[in-house]
Amino acid sequence: MRRFWIDTDTASDDAVAILMALRTPDVVVDGISVVSGNVPVEMGTRNALYTVELCGKQTPVYSGIDRPLLREPSYAYFFHGPDGMGGMNYPEPAGAEDKVHAVDAFIDAVRGSPGEITLVILGPLSNIASAVRIAPDIADKIPMCYVMGGAAACLGNMTPAAEFNIWADPDAARIVFHSGIPILMVGWEHCRGEANLDDDDMAFVRSLNTPYADFTLDCNESAIKTNREWLGDPGLALPDPVTMAIALDPEVCTKRGKHFVDVETISDLTRGMTVVDELGVLNKEPNIEVCWEINIPLWKETLYTTLRDE
Amino acid sequence: MTKKILIDTDPGVDDTMAILFALRSPELEVIGLAAIFGNAYVDVTAKNALHLVELENNHHIPVAKGAAVPLVEPPRSMGMHVHGDDGMGGINLPDPDGELLGIPAAQFIVETILANPGELTLVPIGPLTNIALAVRLEPRIVDLVKEVVIMGGTVYADGNASPVAEANIYNDPHAAAIVFNAGWPLTMVGLDVTLKVVMTKNYLDKLCSVGNPATEMIRQVLPFYQQFHMEEYGLNGDLHTHDPSAIAYLLDPALFQAEQIPAFVETVGSCSGQTVLDRQRQLGDFKEINVCLGVDDRSVLDLFWERLTG
């Protein structure tokens, strides 16, 4: 069995990504740590719990850091809806989050199983940066980390230069990017255009006629609308599920390269920009693998597989 | 009624004097020590902290190891040129008997404050990384701590790490900014007062001839530190009283003249680490802190003498 840990600011596309991991038969999710990001951490925790229960799992959910390390919080209700879940107003989850703090739980999990737990980060990096500072030894104990964040090709969605997860807590992102954890950065650009679920794709998902397929579309109702009106894209953009698809099947990423990548933390104009030294002009040791291309049909099939009934 | 304190420290020669001062003061109950990088690497300061609690049979006091580097920036330098490679004046102490706590310092700080609501005084006398991480882990500690008394910062006196910055703040300005802006009762015992409390060579010679375990320890760790002060400040064996002044404040705040003034910490540029008072709130709505600006130096020295020799 492969073991995953998911760090998430659970709103609609995070929820789908969580579902994908929970519904992959050879993957065990040791824990889900929630962080402030798309929505406040309490709301994200509730959304994560709801998703776990929808999948019939008992995966522990831990509530984490409630704001960026140095900045004021800024949420993405405009994209994900007032509840972060497309305005579906799902019922309260039956269970409750674990009482242990997300950062403590994550440190304990990694130390308890060194080299065994793959980390998938779907939100701002405040939890993981804190963990790295509190327990620096964990960096060597994480075999691989997939980060949904950044924009290697410099296509920002929060500002022209920056993607939301990195923009929201650039200082945390910078800590994690330089922590020594092996990271594949999956930028926001990989969910756009043809990687969207278009009308035909969404009709296909609906035709699967499972609660998971319906949930995937329903909780993203606000995201679909905003994606079309705001960006003029064909349908549903799913940045976190694309990243999860790569974590589940690394073949989904068809072109990758290791580069020196830094995060801008001083400038207002380019706050949170992921600066990729593709040509090596800075002559610095590469620290991050960047995903440059994905296999779009394989990404979608990886998603669909987890939405079908067993 | 004793005052419960947790000292966050980077021993450190003057930290050693401060810790022994606190341990030998019946008005103070030292609930624990948290170690931080600063005067030496954190592995070293943690070991030194353990050694100091064991020196006079305080083995019951737990010591937690904390952050190894500043919150967001790379470390600037450790203070080994001031305190010796072992942080203790180069005396190469044997390994302590005891073990460090199994939890990281930030978690220890959070748990200790939650277990003593309204009763615990935090006494950071090193860089503020552990304290800032604790605030981000558990924001409720801001309301549940009794007060925070730091050794650090400078307003009117020259800096000792840069022209405008005191070393503890300079070594992690971002953490200091979080601590200054948290909104808890914060007292700054900085260079404005610690430079005015001078332990003369004569005072120190006499102290070192008392012959109890505490003064014997001080006798051993002092020469390297004195040598630095001789070369750097032209002092002829005299010393400024940095960390012990914060303990004196805990014992008798009336020995200090302090004012409530809005303050902030500069985090970028050549003035990074400067603690700035903004009485007229010209640059923002900063939190008021209690800034020590004057001190009855004679009484501080008498108090220290009484406790270390009693």
CA distances in angstroms from B83 to B13, B48, B128, B200, B223, listed in the order given:
6, 12, 19, 19, 10
CA distances in angstroms from A27 to A142, A249, A310, B81, B179, listed in the order given:
16, 11, 15, 51, 41
Inter-chain CB proximity B71 and A133 less than 8 Å: yes
Q: Cα dihedral sign for A230, A233, A234, A239?
A: negative
Q: Give the closest-approach CA distance of A69 to chain B in angstroms.
A: 7
User: Is the Cβ of B144 closer than 8 Å to some Cβ of chain A?
Assistant: no
User: Is the Cβ of A126 closer than 8 Å to some Cβ of chain B?
Assistant: yes
Nearest CA to A223 out of A249, A197, A186 is that of A197
Percent of chain B with pLDDT over 90: 96
pLDDT digits (tens, 9 = 90+) for B188-239: 999 999 999 999 999 999 999 999 999 999 999 999 999 999 999 899 999 9
Superfamily (CATH H level) for A2-307: Ribonucleoside hydrolase-like (3.90.245.10)
Lookup result for tokens 């404040």: B249
User: Is the Cβ of B137 closer than 8 Å to some Cβ of chain A?
Assistant: yes
Residue B102 has pLDDT above 80, yes or no: yes
Q: Give the closest-approach CA distance of A252 to chain B in angstroms.
A: 33
pLDDT, residue A23, reads 98
User: Is the Cβ of A108 closer than 8 Å to some Cβ of chain B?
Assistant: no
CB B180, CB B168: distance < 8 Å: no
pLDDT, residue B193, reads 98
Q: Which chain B residues are Cβ-neighbours of A171 within 8 angstroms?
A: 71-72, 174
Q: Class for domain B3-309, per CATH? A: alpha beta
Q: Give the closest-approach CA distance of A83 to chain B in angstroms.
A: 23
pLDDT digits (tens, 9 = 90+) for B103-158: 999 999 999 999 999 999 999 999 999 999 999 999 999 999 999 999 999 999 99
Residue B179 has pLDDT above 90, yes or no: yes
The mean pLDDT of B269-278, rounded to a whole number, is 96
Give the domain ranges of chain B. Answer: 3-309
DSSP A200-235: HHHHHHHHH-SHHHHHHHHTTHHHHHHHHHHH--SS
Instruction: Please state, rounded to an integer, the average pLDDT across all residues of chain A.
Output: 96
Chain Cα centroid distance, residue A122:
2
Q: Is B8 a catalytic residue?
A: no
Instruction: Give the integer Cα–Cα distance in Å for B99 and B159.
Output: 36
Inter-chain CB proximity A69 and B136 less than 8 Å: yes
The mean pLDDT of B18-38, rounded to a whole number, is 98
Q: Tell me how many degrees the CA angle B97-B79-B90 measures, rounded to the nearest 5.
A: 50
Under DSSP, the state recorded for B57 is T
Instruction: Give the integer Cα–Cα distance in Å for A261 and A182.
Output: 13
User: Is the Cβ of B107 closer than 8 Å to some Cβ of chain A?
Assistant: yes
Which chain A residue has its CA at the smallest distance from B71's CA?
A133
- The set of catalytic residues of A is 9
pLDDT, residue A309, reads 84
Inter-chain CB proximity A136 and B68 less than 8 Å: yes
Q: Give the closest-approach CA distance of B239 to chain A in angstroms.
A: 34
User: Is the Cβ of B283 closer than 8 Å to some Cβ of chain A?
Assistant: no
Which chain B residue has its CA at the smallest distance from A172's CA?
B72
pLDDT, residue A122, reads 98
pLDDT, residue A310, reads 66
Inter-chain CB proximity B136 and A65 less than 8 Å: yes
pTM: 0.92
- Segments in chain A below pLDDT 70: 310
**CB nearest to A175's CB, from B72, B104, B110:** B72
pLDDT digits (tens, 9 = 90+) for B33-73: 999 999 999 999 999 999 999 999 999 999 999 999 999 99
